[in-house]
Structure formats: structure tokens, C-alpha cells
């Protein structure tokens, strides 16, 4: 391969509705579980919320103009369910659809490929209240109806669809760690809701294929590859248990249609495994074959060590950005995640490991044999404006090294469709407020008119796109 990425490679960037749009009660929008959660005392960092966010809803033309200036090939965004269906089902709000037509048309007119995430965590509050949202199989029918509205409305314009964003994260944080709505700590409920997400993915993919819409469809999983801390057999066994109960568990059900046997048997023995109906098996296997690509959100790797039956449990995350607060976390009897001396860490104690991305891409490609889209990758940092500039060289280094890792993975045979950074503009971090920034475009949240300022990384990524990655690959 020449020292460039394939010509049709999608160098893009991403966002999610709740994190950028604002306008949370405008044009008939209904409330989502996040609109409620952020108002409960103590649930988010310093009580931050997405009522206004970056005000993307009103500034969509300005944001697209910045994307065009950068030369972005693809923009991944999500659709707010309650803008379209304020009560979660039934009455359709036309103004919601019009907003997304405006966004999609604006992207297409500027040569930017829209990549649509159908669900990025903002479940209609009405469905949560009525039947517990993801806790009930009823979610499948409501989700399918929502997805069908989107396919019918946008299928002529949108070629890339991501059904779910990080189902492993929103179920884990919502049902094991009580950090996201609905704030429960119940392992069995986590596994049950995760199973329901897999069913939603499966039925929506089947619908998409059977109705013959053109385009490609997948879902995005947050994937954290894991290494054994040492070659001691206990650590190696901890790594295997991590794969069986985490990585293979979350991936296989989506992209093979069944759970890994050791992992499922482990949860079954504990009385925690989800019920699998005969019709589930059928649709999961069928749709796994129909799924066009695997979306991967990659931020960091994990290093795993032995954790005895009386070992440590899950710990909360660093949400303050005070570096050096890494805390070991684990499941007694399975594994524990430890600090990796060989890696550098961000201020939020996330391991910076570009080679982990290459490693993840190769293992996923070999296990599932499908094309992969990196739907998120990026570095959260405290950025500062000085004399009108944001000098985020650390982010440039991070992205350059991860792009190199993509190139290496392609050379090792991975069919990689594209690379979307997280995120285009700065935006709301669900648990870390507005101080943890990821964007190429700085948003000054202190000022009422939310000015946008291009960071150094903006110009760097512009060059990445212009040279099709060549500027990252030079020795
Ligand atoms: C992913 C999500 O988990 O990571 C995004 O899909 C999120 O919505 C991103 O913002 C970064 O996470 P955080 O917690 O640093 O904002």
C-alpha cells in the first residue's frame, strides 16, 4: 500500500444530539431520560446539563461551515428520539424531522457524508416511565417504529446507519454503576437490558435489509482491549475471563448472534444470565450475518490482573480531571483492572495507547470478518485559549498516533472504512461537564453567544484530510 489511506476512506468526526443540540424544549420536543436526570441533585459534574449545550440546534449552518472549511469527509451525529416522537411513539413532530433534513442537506451540499446514529442514550422519558425502557422487551417494537420513520424519511440521503451507540456503556452505567439513568445497581438487570439492546439491533437491521433500503448498517460498541499484566498464569487467566465476560460477551451477541459459552455459563451459574427465547436466537444469528459493519469507539486499553473471590469490586471513575486518581476496579473472582506503568494517562486517568487500537482492530477483524468503522476516538483535556489560540499539541499527538495505528491495522489486513474523531466541536461530557473537552473547535461556554474558536488540532486534521493521512505517516 502507498503511504496514504484508501481514496474513499472516511476521515470524519462525531457528536451526539444531547451533547450538542440544546433547545431541549423547543419545537415540540419531548423530554428524554437525560433531560430529567441532569436536574436531579448530584447526578452530574457540578450539575451541568444539556439544556443549551453548544446550541447546535440554532447554529447548525455555522457548524457545517466549519466542517466544510476543515474538509471533513464524514460527520457522525445522532437523532434525538423525542424531537421526532415527543412521547416515544405515536404522534410525529414534523419540526424535528425538518431539523435533521436541514442538517443532512447542509452536509451533503458541502460534500460531507452523514453517518446517522439512531440512538445515543436519550431515551424518551415517557417509555422509561411506562415500562422501564430497556428493562422490557416492549422497547423492541417502539424502537423499530422509530427507526422505520427515520429510514423512510432519510434513506435517500443517508448511506451509513449506526443503530445503537455503546449499548455496553449505557446499560452498565445505568444498571450496574448507577451513574446514568435510571441509576440502578443490579448486575442481572444490566445483563437483561444488554440482551434487549442486542435484540433491538437485530430487529432493526432485519427491518432495514428486508425493506431493501440502500446503505450500510451496524452498531457501535465501546471496545477496550485487555492485556495480561504479567505472564503469570493467574493474570493470563484474568485476561481470558475478562474477554469471556466483557469483550466477547458484548461483541459476539451482536456480530455472531450468540454469547461466548464460558461467559454465559458463568453468569448463568450466578443466576444472572438473561433469558434467551428460541426466537431470539434465530433473529440474532440472522441479523449478525446481515450487519454490514462493526462500529468501534476506542479510547483506551485495559491491563488485567488476578482478582480473588474476596478481591476488589467496581470503582467510580475520575470525573474531576485531577490526574493521579486512577483506581483499580474489578469483579471478584474474574479480573481486576490495574495501572499500566508503560503507558501515559490523560488528566482523567484514561490510558493513552495507540497500539491498543491496532491490536483491537486486528482481533475484531479476525474474530468477525467484517468491515470496521471507528466511530469515536479522541482525547479529553482541559484546553485553554491564549491570545485567541488553543494550542492543543497533546491532542494532535494523540490523533496522529491513533491514525498511524489505523494504517498499521489496514496493512495487517483489516477492512477499515473510516475514522471519526470524538468530537468536532467541544460538547457536554455526560459525567464530566463542559471542562473535559474533545473538539477541534473550542466552544467558549462562559460566554452567552458561545463563540467557536479553531484549535491547532483543527488545522492539523484539515491537513490529515487533505493529504489523506500522509502527514501522519511520514517518518
Ligand atoms: C463515549 C460516548 O463513551 O465517550 C460519548 O459515546 C462520550 O458520548 C465519549 O462523550 C467520551 O466520554 P467522556 O465521559 O469523556 O465524555
Q: Please state the atom number of ligand 1 nearest to the C-alpha of residue 350.
A: 15
83 Cα: distance to centroid of ligand 1 (angstroms): 22
Give the 3-state secondary structure of residue 392.
Answer: coil
Note if the pTM is more than 0.85.
Answer: yes
Nearest CA to ligand 1 atom 16: 429
Q: Please state the atom number of ligand 1 nearest to the C-alpha of residue 169.
A: 3
281 Cα: distance to centroid of ligand 1 (angstroms): 31
DSSP 244: I
Separation between Cα atoms, residue 72 and residue 138, nearest integer Å: 38
Closest to 457 (Cα-Cα) out of 375, 396, 374:
396
- Does the pLDDT at position 200 exceed 60? yes
Instruction: For ligand 1, pick from 425, 429, 432 the residue to mutate: most ligand atoms within 8 Å of CB.
Output: 429
Q: Please state the atom number of ligand 1 nearest to the C-alpha of residue 378.
A: 11
Q: Ligand 1 site: residues with CB under 6 angstroms?
A: 16, 19, 165-166, 169, 222, 297, 376, 380, 422, 429-432, 436
At 3, the pLDDT band (50, 70, 90 cuts) reads confident
Question: Among residues 376, 387, 401, 446, which one is catalytic?
Answer: 376
Question: Among residues 93, 113, 166, 244, which one is catalytic?
Answer: 166
On whether the CB atoms of residues 118 and 146 are closer than 8 A, the answer is yes
Four-point Cα dihedral 48, 49, 51, 52, nearest 10: 50
Closest to 431 (Cα-Cα) out of 78, 20, 38, 82:
38
Instruction: For ligand 1, pick from 18, 297, 347 the residue to mutate: most ligand atoms within 8 Å of CB.
Output: 297
429 Cα: distance to centroid of ligand 1 (angstroms): 6
The predicted-structure confidence for 150-197, as pLDDT tens digits, reads as follows: 999 999 999 999 999 999 999 999 999 999 999 999 999 999 999 999
At 460, the pLDDT band (50, 70, 90 cuts) reads very high
Q: Please state the atom number of ligand 1 nearest to the C-alpha of residue 422.
A: 9
Ranges of H-type helices in 369-455: 393-411
233 Cα: distance to centroid of ligand 1 (angstroms): 34
- Measured from the Cβ of residue 184, the count of other Cβ atoms closer than 10 Å reads 17
At 399, the pLDDT band (50, 70, 90 cuts) reads very high
Q: Which pLDDT belongs to residue 4?
A: 81
Task: At 162, list the grid cell.
Answer: 449506526
For the segment 118-140, the average pLDDT, to the nearest whole number, is 98
At 318, the pLDDT band (50, 70, 90 cuts) reads confident
Proportion of the chain above pLDDT 70, given as a percent: 99
Instruction: For ligand 1, pick from 349, 373, 430, 438 the residue to mutate: most ligand atoms within 8 Å of CB.
Output: 430
Mark whether 366 is an active-site residue.
Answer: no
18 Cα: distance to centroid of ligand 1 (angstroms): 12
Q: Which pLDDT belongs to residue 475?
A: 64
Q: Residue for cell digits 434525538?
A: 80
- Does the pLDDT at position 27 exceed 80? yes
Mark whether 166 is an active-site residue.
Answer: yes
Strands 113-119 and 160-165: parallel
Q: Which pLDDT belongs to residue 316?
A: 84
Q: Please state the atom number of ligand 1 nearest to the C-alpha of residue 16.
A: 8
Q: Please state the atom number of ligand 1 nearest to the C-alpha of residue 166.
A: 6
Nearest CA to ligand 1 atom 10: 429
At 10, the pLDDT band (50, 70, 90 cuts) reads very high
* Angle between helix 248-255 and 278-290 (nearest 10): 80
Q: Which pLDDT belongs to residue 2?
A: 59
Among the ranges given (28-37, 319-328, 386-395), the one the predictor scored with the smallest mean pLDDT: 319-328
For the segment 236-241, the average pLDDT, to the nearest whole number, is 98
φ, ψ (nearest 5 deg) of residue 276: -115, 115
For the segment 327-335, the average pLDDT, to the nearest whole number, is 96
* Angle between helix 187-210 and 138-154 (nearest 10): 40
Task: At 261, list the grid cell.
Answer: 459459552
422 Cα: distance to centroid of ligand 1 (angstroms): 8
Beta-carbon contacts of residue 303 (< 8 Å; ≥ 6 apart): 226, 227, 228, 229, 337, 338, 339, 340, 351
Separation between Cα atoms, residue 249 and residue 433, nearest integer Å: 31
CA atoms within 13 A on the CB side of 279: 4
Instruction: For ligand 1, pick from 38, 166, 395 the residue to mutate: most ligand atoms within 8 Å of CB.
Output: 166
Nearest CA to ligand 1 atom 13: 429
- Does the pLDDT at position 452 exceed 70? yes
Mean pLDDT estimate for the chain:
97
Separation between Cα atoms, residue 139 and residue 167, nearest integer Å: 14
Q: Which pLDDT belongs to residue 48?
A: 96
For the segment 403-416, the average pLDDT, to the nearest whole number, is 97
Amino acid at each position: 500500500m502507498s503511504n496514504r489511506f484508501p481514496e474513499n476512506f472516511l476521515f470524519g468526526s462525531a457528536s451526539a444530539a444531547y451533547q450538542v443540540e440544546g433547545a431541549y424544549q423547543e419545537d415540540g420536543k419531548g423530554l428524554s431520560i437525560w433531560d430529567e436526570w441532569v436536574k436531579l441533585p448530584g447526578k452530574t459534574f457540578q450539575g451541568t446539563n444539556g439544556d443549551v449545550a453548544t446550541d447546535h440546534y440554532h447554529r447548525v449552518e455555522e457548524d457545517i461551515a466549519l466542517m466544510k472549511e476543515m474538509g471533513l469527509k464524514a460527520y457522525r451525529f445522532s437523532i434525538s428520539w423525542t424531537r421526532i416522537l415527543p412521547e416515544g411513539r405515536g404522534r410525529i413532530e414534523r419540526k424535528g424531522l425538518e431539523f435533521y433534513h436541514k442538517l443532512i442537506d447542509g452536509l451533503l451540499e458541502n460534500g460531507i457524508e452523514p453517518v446517522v446514529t439512531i440512538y445515543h442514550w436519550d431515551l424518551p422519558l415517557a417509555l422509561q416511565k411506562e415500562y422501564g425502557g430497556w428493562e422490557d422487551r416492549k422497547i423492541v417494537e417502539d424502537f423499530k417504529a422509530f427507526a422505520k420513520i427515520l429510514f423512510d424519511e432519510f434513506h435517500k440521503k443517508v448511506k451509513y446507519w449506526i443503530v445503537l451507540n455503546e449499548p455496553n456503556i449505557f446499560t452498565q452505567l445505568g444498571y450496574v454503576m448507577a451513574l446514568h439513568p435510571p441509576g440502578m445497581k443490579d448486575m442481572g438487570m444490566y445483563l437483561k437490558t444488554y440482551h434487549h439492546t442486542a435484540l433491538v439491533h437485530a430487529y432493526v437491521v432485519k427491518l432495514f435489509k428486508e425493506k431493501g433500503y440502500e446503505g450500510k448498517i451496524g452498531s457501535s460498541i465501546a471496545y477496550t482491549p485487555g492485556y495480561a499484566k504479567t505472564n503469570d498464569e493467574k493474570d493470563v487467566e484474568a485476561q481470558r475471563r475478562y474477554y469471556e465476560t466483557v469483550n466477547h460477551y458484548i461483541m459476539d451477541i451482536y456480530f455472531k448472534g450468540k454469547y461466548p459459552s464460558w461467559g454465559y455459563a458463568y453468569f448463568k451459574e450466578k443466576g444472572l444470565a438473561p433469558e434467551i427465547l428460541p426466537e431470539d436466537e434465530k433473529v440474532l444469528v440472522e441479523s449478525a450475518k446481515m450487519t454490514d459493519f462493526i462500529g468501534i469507539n476506542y479510547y483506551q486499553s485495559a491491563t488485567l490482573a488476578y482478582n480473588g473471590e474476596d478481591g476488589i469490586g467496581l470503582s467510580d471513575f475520575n470525573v474531576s480531571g485531577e490526574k493521579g486518581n486512577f483506581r483499580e476496579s474489578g469483579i471478584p473472582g474474574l479480573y481486576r483492572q490495574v495501572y499500566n506503568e508503560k503507558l501515559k494517562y490523560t488528566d482523567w486517568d484514561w490510558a493513552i495507547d495507540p497500539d491498543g487500537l491496532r491490536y483491537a482492530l486486528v482481533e475484531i477483524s479476525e474474530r468477525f470478518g467484517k468491515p470496521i468503522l471507528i466511530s469515536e476516538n479522541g482525547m479529553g483535556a482541559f484546553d485553554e485559549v491564549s491570545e485567541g489560540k488553543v494550542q492543543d499539541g497533546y491532542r494532535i499527538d494523540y490523533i496522529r498516533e491513533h491514525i498511524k495505528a489505523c494504517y498499521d491495522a489496514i496493512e495487517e489486513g483489516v477492512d477499515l472504512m473510516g475514522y471519526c474523531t470524538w468530537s468536532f466541536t467541544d460538547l457536554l461530557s455526560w459525567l464530566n461537564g463542559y471542562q473535559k473537552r474533545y473538539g477541534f473547535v473550542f466552544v467558549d461556554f462562559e460566554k452567552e453567544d458561545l463563540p467557536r474558536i479553531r484549535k491547532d488540532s483543527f488545522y492539523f486534521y484539515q491537513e490529515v484530510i487533505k493529504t489523506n493521512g500522509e502527514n501522519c505517516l511520514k517518518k
